[in-house]
Amino acid sequence: MGDMDLLGISQQTVKIILLLGLPSLIVSMVIGVLISIFQAVTQISDASLAFVPKMIIVSIFIILSLPWIGDQITTYTMELWNMILVFGQTAK
């Protein structure tokens, strides 16, 4: 984190949020498109068919990616704490 101002911190926070949230959203979109194609081909229009598999697959994806998500959050949190220390030392 090179920027030591509030704008830099907020930009980095938004980047982390997008980095952690986008993979799950992409998986959800791909599964939704595949289920929609399946429903169009078979002419099955059950709402639970669109929701339940998507929820299960996205939940499995999130569980499998939790170690990576934890590493990203831990690294970012440590960077923020280090910046707090730097801000505290420069404020004296």
- The answer to whether residues 83 and 9 touch, using CB atoms and an 8 Å cutoff, is yes
| Cα 84 to Cα 79: distance, rounded to the nearest angstrom | 9
- Domains of the chain by residue range: 6-90
pLDDT tens digits, one per residue of 8-48: 888 999 999 999 999 999 999 999 999 989 888 988 888 78
What is the pTM assigned to this prediction? 0.73
pLDDT tens digits, one per residue of 42-75: 888 887 878 888 999 999 999 999 999 999 999 9
